[in-house]
């Protein structure tokens, strides 16, 4: 049995750190506030909105919802982003993507003020994670991977990491964050020949392709740490990760470790989002 890197304990540690900070902010008259901007009513977005709102409520973070119809124009959305940017009572913004294809998504993302860009979608945040400029925030999912490794005491420096998937939401940013922590990082993807040959050599494997149970036992060896970022549904409608958990988990052995799906990184991501809101609220006090 591999060690299960469940998210609950990681989130609890984040909350324990956040609670007194939120109390101090409220005592100083600042209500940490998250804006959620949603275009249309995609079930995925609504689901994450519910989760985030519930988490925010528990922590005492206020939520302001900005809802636009699916046929909203870019100008309408930019107007909302401008409101978020200028309202000093808002400390962070989740903007659900993808945006409607008619919109220039990059322009909208770049319009969001970097200090409120708590999910790292704007160019300033992207440069921040690539070049450690200190601007903006890394994508919450990428930071959730690091928080989980740190919480469970899994060393990163000098280790071999293979990241499967090169998206801007997770693959590339998490690779840069691990590199900054002195890991030797390989970025593999759909065009990689024999990805399993790479992953079997790794100490840590980050699976972030969004393909249900795509990575079976042939990708892993005993003793590895596996972070499964995938949140997929299989053909029967069951929630599952990118890893074929049932086949892989026993193979990793007692020295191995794996994040389950569900009960893994998803919840940590939400907690990291809240931490970013609090961070900006605190910065606004200085």
Q: Would you list which residues are annotated within the binding site for NADP(+)?
A: 165-167, 231
Question: Which one of residues 12, 76, 133, 285 is an interface residue with a copy of itself (CB under 8 A)?
Answer: 133
Taking the complex as a whole, the smallest distance from the CB of residue 132 to a copy of itself amounts, in Å, to: 8
Instruction: Please report where in the chains the tokens 């993808």 appear, as a residue.
Output: 98
| Residue 21 binds to a copy of itself (criterion: CB under 8 A) | no
CA dihedral 209, 150, 35, 133 (to 10 degrees): -90
Instruction: Name which position in 3, 21, 97, 189 contacts a copy of itself (CB under 8 A).
Output: 189
Query: Nearer to a copy of itself by C-beta: 171 or 241?
Result: 171
Print the binding letters for residues 196-225 with a copy of itself: x by CB under 8 A, - otherwise: --x---------------------------
Stretch that binds a copy of itself, among 193-201, 238-246, 250-258, 271-279 (CB under 8 A): 193-201
When binding is defined by CB under 8 A, the residue of 16, 44, 193, 235 that contacts a copy of itself is: 193
Q: Interacting stretch for a copy of itself, rule CB under 8 A, among 31-39, 62-70, 171-179, 234-242?
A: 171-179
4: number of Cβ within 10 Å:
13
- Binding-site annotation, residues: 165-167, 231
Tell me the CA distances in angstroms from 230 to 18, 20, 31, 75, 150, one per residue in order.
26, 32, 33, 33, 20
- What is the SS3 assignment for 60? coil
Task: Please choose, out of 4-12, 87-95, 180-188, 259-267, the segment that lies near a copy of itself by the rule CB under 8 A.
Answer: 180-188
Q: Quickly count: other Cβ atoms within 10 Å of residue 182's Cβ.
A: 12
Considering the rule CB under 8 A, would residue 111 count as an interface residue with a copy of itself?
no
Note whether 135 binds a copy of itself by CB under 8 A: yes
The CB-of-8 to a copy of itself minimum distance in angstroms stands at: 32
Residue 106 burial (CB count, 10 A)? 12
The whole-angstrom distance between residue 286's C-alpha and the CA centroid of its chain comes to: 27
Count Cα atoms within 13 angstroms, Cβ side, for 215: 37
Write phi, then psi, for 90 (nearest 5 degrees): -105, 130
Query: Is 112 among the residues that bind a copy of itself (CB under 8 A)?
Result: no
User: Does 131 help bind a copy of itself (rule: CB under 8 A)?
Assistant: yes
CB of 175 vs a copy of itself, minimal distance in Å:
8
Residue 17 binds a copy of itself (CB under 8 A): no
Check residue 74 for interaction with a copy of itself (CB under 8 A): no
Backbone angles phi, psi at 33, to 5 degrees: -135, 130
Contact present, 34 and 52 (Cβ < 8 Å): yes
Question: Residue 247 in contact with residue 115, Cβ under 8 Å?
Answer: no
Q: How many chain residues touch a copy of itself (CB under 8 A)?
A: 33
Q: How far is CA 103 from CA 20, 57, 77, 85, 224, in A?
A: 40, 32, 9, 19, 42
Which residues of the chain form contacts with a copy of itself (CB under 8 A)?
Answer: 106, 110, 123-124, 126-131, 133-135, 157-158, 166, 168, 172, 175-176, 179, 182, 184-189, 191-193, 195, 198
């Amino acid at each position: 049995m591999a060690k299960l890197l469940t998210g609950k304990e990681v989130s609890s540690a984040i909350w324990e750190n956040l609670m007194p900070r939120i109390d101090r902010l409220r005592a100083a008259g600042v209500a940490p506030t998250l804006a959620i901007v949603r275009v249309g009513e995609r079930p995925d977005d609504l689901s994450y909105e519910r989760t985030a709102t519930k988490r925010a409520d528990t922590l005492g973070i206020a939520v302001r919802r900005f809802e636009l119809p699916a046929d909203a124009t870019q100008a309408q959305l930019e107007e909302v982003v401008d409101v978020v940017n200028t309202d000093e009572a808002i400390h962070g913004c989740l903007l659900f993507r993808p945006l409607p294809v008619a919109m220039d998504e990059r322009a909208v993302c770049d319009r969001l003020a970097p200090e409120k860009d708590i999910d790292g979608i704007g160019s300033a945040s992207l440069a921040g994670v690539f070049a450690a400029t200190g601007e903006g925030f890394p994508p919450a999912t990428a930071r959730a991977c690091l928080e989980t490794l740190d919480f469970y005491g899994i060393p990163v420096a000098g280790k071999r990491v293979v990241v499967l998937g090169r998206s801007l939401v997770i693959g590339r940013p998490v690779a840069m964050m691990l590199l900054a922590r002195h890991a030797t990082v390989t970025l593999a993807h759909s065009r990689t020949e024999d990805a399993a040959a790479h992953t079997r050599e790794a100490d840590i494997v980050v699976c972030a392709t969004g393909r249900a149970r795509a990575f079976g036992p042939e990708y892993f060896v005993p003793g590895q740490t596996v972070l499964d970022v995938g949140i997929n549904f299989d053909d029967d409608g069951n929630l599952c990760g990118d890893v074929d958990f049932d086949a892989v988990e026993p193979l990793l052995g007692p020295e191995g470790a794996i994040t389950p799906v569900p009960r893994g990184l998803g919840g940590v991501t939400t907690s990291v989002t809240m931490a970013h809101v609090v961070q900006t609220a605190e910065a606004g006090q200085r």
